[in-house]
Structure 1
């Protein structure tokens, strides 16, 4: 388990992490999300003892990472895949790490086989592709067969087969009762993988909830309804407390004749209740489809005010509204 309590990090006048508290529990894949500059990397570095907090604590299995006698056997981390001596071979790199934690040499060959690097294990790391470097970083994180796995952008540079392997690997670790914390900008991948989400913006906690609850809270959720009785249905639904808006009909937008009224987006009532109300009032429905929000849509809605850098109207990068 990972516990973060009141964690803050200040660099001069800049506050990178601001009084952050959350718990990463075993048995779940926990996604760690936030816009660029939100403080994710700084938080991960403090968890594994690479940066000293200005205030607050971060513990792994009840102890600060720096106090662990054999840290690789408690928590394995991939934070920067390129942080490897380019002149060493993959096997040499892993053997050095294994020796530092008193791990047997056979474990090196086991993790190399696990991540698919047995054949290139004698090649110098400097000649590795980005994807191969990611696999090597994951191998290093697994050396001590740890209880806790921390991965920062683990699928960066991987091909589809590698991405699927990482997804199955994280799922397997969580199903085995281990603690898995993964940071990624690939929202579709996170939606397919994570059970729980911790979202930060400008160094502060923005959300700490299950994936299902996070998506359900989005204002983008609704039910798409198409009916030849638009006016009557709108009146019935609004009288029952629903919010009803018309979706843009693409055929009408293009100037084409439409067979019926444009579809409606209904919020505040589920599809079952909408169907019941339509039936009770003798109104036909031609479409009744829940519209499920994507993780990317829900994430962007939540963090809209926490984006440090955004693209301006003319394509120039802006920092807090000022062109840079």
Structure 2
């Protein structure tokens, strides 16, 4: 488990991370989301001990990562796929990591096979595409067969087959009981991959909840009620704290009450209902709405 407790990082007058607390439990894929400049990469670097926090703590299974020897046995991470010497072969890069962490050489071939680079292991990394470098970075993260894994933008440069493979890999790792934290800007991918989310903006926590719960926050989430007695239902919904607006012929768009409670309310007052459908906002819609005031960089739309 990863535990972040009141983590703060300042660079002079700039606050990159501010009093941030969250947990990443094992057995689930946790998506780490936020606008550019939200502090995601800085937070991940502090978890790994690469940046020292101004205050607060970040621990992995109860201990700072820097307190562990042979770190790849405990944590695997991909933070920057380009952070590899271009003159080295993929096999040489992994061999150096295996040697310094006391890992058997057989793991080099095993992880190259797993990420689809077995035939490219002898090639220099400088000639790799971005997608191939991402695969090599994932291989390095898996090298020690660790229980905790962190990935920063792991699908950048991957083709559709590669994205599908990564999605399945993360789900499998979580199903094995590992702790998996994935930072990404691709909302559709997080909607398909993550079980829960940690959302930050300007270094502060915005949300920590399941994907479904976060998407339900979006303003476009509503219940469609189709009834020939809409005029009778509207004041009843208002009295129950919901808002109902016309949504086509004999239909209402209801916010503030779940579908089950809307149906029960109609039933108690003998109101005929022909349709009762829940519409969730997409993860992207909810993200854009809830982080709009936390974006550090934004461009004006042109018309």
| Bin of the TM-score, shorter chain as denominator length | over 0.9
Residue 262 (structure 2) pairs with residue 274 (structure 1): yes
Range that drifts further, 136-145 or 42-51: 42-51
Using the TM superposition, give the Cα deviation of residue 98 of structure 1 relative to its aligned residue in structure 2, in angstroms.
0.9
Per the alignment, in what secondary structure is the counterpart of residue 237 of structure 1?
helix
Structure-1 residue corresponding to 2:54: 54
Q: CA deviation at 1:217?
A: 3.9
Q: Which has the greater radius of gyration? A: 1
Per-residue deviation, 1:278: 4.5
Residue in 1 that maps onto 2:203: 203
Residue of structure 2 equivalent to 1:98: 98
Query: 1:59-98 CA deviation, whole Å, 9 max, x = no partner?
Result: 2222222221110110000000011111111111111111
1:79-228 map, 5 Å = 79-228=79-228
Q: How does 1:284-323 map to 2 (within 5 A)?
A: 285-314=273-302
- How much does 1:58 deviate? 1.4
Evaluate the alpha carbon distance shift between residue 22 and residue 277 of structure 1 in structure 2; reply closer, same or farther with a 3 A threshold.
closer
Aligned length: 303
Separation (CA, whole Å) in 1 of partners of 2:38 and 2:265:
45
5+ long unaligned stretches in structure 2: none
* Equivalent in the alignment of 2:43: 43
Q: CA RMSD in A?
A: 2.0
Between the aligned partners of 1:101 and 1:62, the Cα distance in structure 2 is: 21
Q: 1:41, CA displacement in angstroms? A: 0.4
Q: TM-score, normalising length from structure 2?
A: 0.92
Distance 1:287 1:154, change over 3 A: same
Preserved contact between residue 61 and residue 74 of structure 1 (Cα < 8 Å) = no
**TM-score of the superposed pair, with normalisation by structure 1:** 0.87
Deviation at 1:126, TM superposition (A): 1.2
Per-residue CA deviation, residues 77-130 of structure 1 (Å, 9 max, x unaligned), is: 000001111111111111111111111111100000000100111111111111
Secondary structure of the corresponding residue to residue 122 of structure 1: coil
> After alignment, is 46-55 or 286-295 more displaced?
286-295
Q: Residue 287 of structure 1: CA displacement? A: 3.8
Q: Which residue in 2 is equivalent to 1:319?
A: none
Q: Deviations over 1:245-304 (max 9, x none)?
A: 234x6xxxxxxxxxx36x421013333443455566665545432111221122222212
Query: Equivalent residue for 2:23?
Result: 23
Unmatched segments (≥5 aa) in structure 1: 250-259, 316-324
Segment of structure 1 superposing worse, 223-232 or 156-165: 223-232
